[in-house]
Amino acid sequence: MKRFALALAPLALASAAFAQTLPDVPDTDESGSWSLVELQAVWTDMTEETFKSIDTSADGAVDATELQAAVDAGVIALPAASSGG
């Protein structure tokens, strides 16, 4: 069992290295997800079309999983101040 865990450790570390930390996006209504207006506070050029493409659940809000998936897929880029971490 230890060999198996040791074999997987480099893969886990590599995955973590590629994950990018999301910027601090204010959740002004404290809903636990973000509206278009809330995301536009960070991504000022975000359009409704882009927002809808990120909102894969089509519930009118973007959660952290959807936002991370959009960043990972290159749908949106991290703001310059957040990418240096």
**Number of C-beta neighbours around residue 68 at 10 A:** 14
**Number of C-beta neighbours around residue 2 at 10 A:** 6
Q: Where are the domains of the chain?
A: 20-78
The answer to pTM > 0.75 is no
Question: What confidence score (pLDDT) does residue 5 get?
Answer: 46
Quote the tokens at residue 44. Answer: 């000022």
pLDDT along the chain (85 residues), means of 10: 50 48 94 98 97 98 97 94 51
Q: What's the fold here for domain 20-78? A: Recoverin; domain 1 (1.10.238)
Which phi and psi (to 5°) does residue 17 adopt? Answer: -65, -30
Q: Strand, coil or helix: what is 16? A: helix
Question: What confidence score (pLDDT) does residue 81 get?
Answer: 63
Quote the tokens at residue 22. Answer: 């999301």
Question: What confidence score (pLDDT) does residue 80 get?
Answer: 82
